[in-house]
Amino acid sequence: MNRLAASLGRMELQSPVAVASGTFGTEYFDLFDQSVLGLYVSKTITLQARTGNPPPRLYETEAGLLNAIGLQNPGLEAFIGEELPRLREVLKVPLIVSFSGASIDEFVQILLALEKEEGLAGYEVNVSCPNVEKEGIAFGADPDVVYALTRRLAELTQRELIVKLSPNVTDIAAIAQAAEAGGASSLALINTLYGMAIDWNTGKSRISRPVCGYSGIGIKPVALALTYKTAQAVRIPILAMGGIHSWQDALEFFYAGAAAIAVGTALYCDPLSAARIMQGLREHMEARGLSLKQIIGTVS
Ligand SMILES: Cc1cc2nc3c(=O)[nH]c(=O)nc-3n(C[C@H](O)[C@H](O)[C@H](O)COP(=O)(O)O)c2cc1C
């Protein structure tokens, strides 16, 4: 009996643990057995290649990480020609491709190109990256736009359609409901919060783009609250993330309403953290005689 079997929209998963987009390269699979993961989410791709922001792009704060990578990626064509064949070869778990666009048509163009490709279980639609002007936040902050975008994409695919939400909005539940109404089969949340760090000695921003993305341990209470609020507002399942470092953290997210979780920044501290989390969850569930599906959303 697999006590940790999970369901995410149209997918049945062997494990409720994933890696968060942009935080984990498949080269780490040399270090542990990838079957501890339920799915693998790729780094976000865009239609054209992007060089991202200039360095410095990462800064470790007292409680988490600031990043301004700026969606660096090889672009759709190179992804399909070079990266995807490699991922297909390496991965033994379902592949979710994350993508973002500057207009609804651009999102559609990317999805249509990926639909022609084999070996993908689905998509994570990144409407939430706060680093790039016009891409991401303009989409993710407006329920009408999220609805229109999701509807267009949902009409074009039978694969898993995950919409990834930003925490940098007034009412995440309204955005989540818009994605659900548009036909998303699941949601992912949260992307990075806005963050900033300044060198008090020089007055200079620590990162090349002063307002950038904040992730890791310090955002966990925020991510947990937004997971809970969203789970109360929608019926579709949630792939939750934000500061998860331990199996105990993961359990909190399941109790709040997550159907599965992703590990991101923790992998920078310990590339084995996803494997450790899965092991801890397995032992805990076994010791308590529980299964994952019994505890999802049962916070009291
Ligand atoms: C260096 C870095 C790069 C990221 N790149 C992406 C990305 O390409 N697409 C995306 O949707 N999220 C990206 N994220 C956000 C993560 O997927 C995740 O939503 C966020 O970091 C919160 O989880 P965590 O606290 O466990 O890291 C990135 C995060 C970091 C730290």
| CATH number assigned to the domain comprising residue 202 | 3.20.20.70
Distance from the alpha carbon of residue 42 to the mean position of ligand 1, in angstroms:
11
Beta strands in the chain (DSSP E): 6-8, 11-13, 17-19, 39-41, 58-61, 64-67, 95-99, 122-126, 160-164, 186-189, 193-195, 198-199, 204-205, 212-215, 238-240, 260-263
Assigned domain for 128 exists: yes
Assigned domain for 300 exists: no
Assigned domain for 1 exists: no
Instruction: Report the C-alpha gap between 93 and 50 in whole angstroms.
Output: 27
> 152 burial class (0-12, 13-18, 19+ CB within 10 angstroms)?
middle
Measured by CA distance, the residue closest to atom 18 of ligand 1 is 191
Estimate to the nearest angstrom the gap between the alpha carbon of 265 and the chain centroid: 11
Instruction: List residues bridging with 204 in a β-sheet.
Output: 199
Instruction: Report the C-alpha gap between 120 and 19 in whole angstroms.
Output: 16
Measured by CA distance, the residue closest to atom 4 of ligand 1 is 22
Q: pLDDT of the chain along its 300 residues, tens only?
A: 899 999 999 999 999 999 999 999 998 888 889 999 999 999 999 999 999 999 999 999 999 999 999 889 999 999 999 999 999 999 999 999 999 998 889 999 999 999 999 999 999 999 965 434 444 456 888 899 999 999 999 999 999 999 999 999 999 999 999 999 999 999 999 999 999 999 999 999 999 999 999 999 999 999 999 999 999 999 999 999 999 999 999 999 999 999 999 999 999 999 999 999 999 999 999 999 999 999 999 999
Helix (H, G, I), strand (E, B) or coil at 181: helix
Residue among 192, 227, 238, 244 to mutate when testing ligand 1 (max atoms within 8 A of CB): 192
Assigned domain for 39 exists: yes
Distance from the alpha carbon of residue 289 to the mean position of ligand 1, in angstroms:
33
Instruction: Report the C-alpha gap between 264 and 242 in whole angstroms.
Output: 7
Sign of the Cα torsion 209, 215, 219, 225 reads: positive
pTM: 0.97
Measured by CA distance, the residue closest to atom 23 of ligand 1 is 242
Ligand 1, CB within 6 Å, residue ranges:
20-23, 43-44, 65, 67, 69, 71, 98, 126, 129, 164, 191-192, 215-216, 219, 241-244, 263-266
Instruction: Report the C-alpha gap between 241 and 295 in whole angstroms.
Output: 17
Assigned domain for 110 exists: yes
Structure tokens that stand for 42 in this block? 């790729």
Please give the tally of structural domains in the chain. 1
DSSP 21-33: TTS--GGGGGTS-
Catalytic residue among 65, 129, 250, 285: 129
Residues 6+ apart with CB under 8 A from 143: 174, 175, 177, 178
> 221 burial class (0-12, 13-18, 19+ CB within 10 angstroms)?
exposed
Residue 129 annotated as catalytic = yes
Instruction: Report the C-alpha gap between 242 and 265 in whole angstroms.
Output: 8
Tell me which residue range forms the domain holding 47.
Answer: 6-295
Assigned domain for 118 exists: yes
Structure tokens that stand for 150 in this block? 């999701």
